Amino acid sequence: MATDTAVTTTYKVSGMSCGHCEGAVSAELTELPEVTEVRASAANGEVTVVSTAPLDEAAVRAAVDEAGYELAGTV
């Protein structure tokens, strides 16, 4: 019995300018236990995160900060 409980949230992240930036943010966010997928786009300054439960914004902010960027909020 499979249930679809994925939660998709898109965040604005300032400071990303290239593929390396996308990779750094993705790597940090992937470390959060609930995260199953991360898609970062430097072109539009957004990161889409798929998780098994709603994420704590403070944890997301800390992960983005650890990567060297700033979480500007959700889209």
Q: Amino acid identity, residue 31? A: E
Categorize the per-residue pLDDT at 4 as very low, low, confident or very high, splitting at 50, 70 and 90. Answer: low
Each residue's pLDDT tens digit, 6-49: 999 999 999 999 999 999 999 999 999 999 999 999 999 999 99
The residue among 8, 10, 44, 39 whose CA lies nearest residue 26 is 39
Burial 37-65 (b: 16+ CB within 10 A, else e): ebebebeebbbebebeeebeeeebeebbe
* Architecture of the domain spanning 7-69: 2-Layer Sandwich (3.30)
pLDDT at 5: 83
Q: What pTM did the predictor assign?
A: 0.91
Q: Which of 53, 25, 54 is nearest to 40 (CA)?
A: 25
Distance CA 32, CA 43 (A): 24
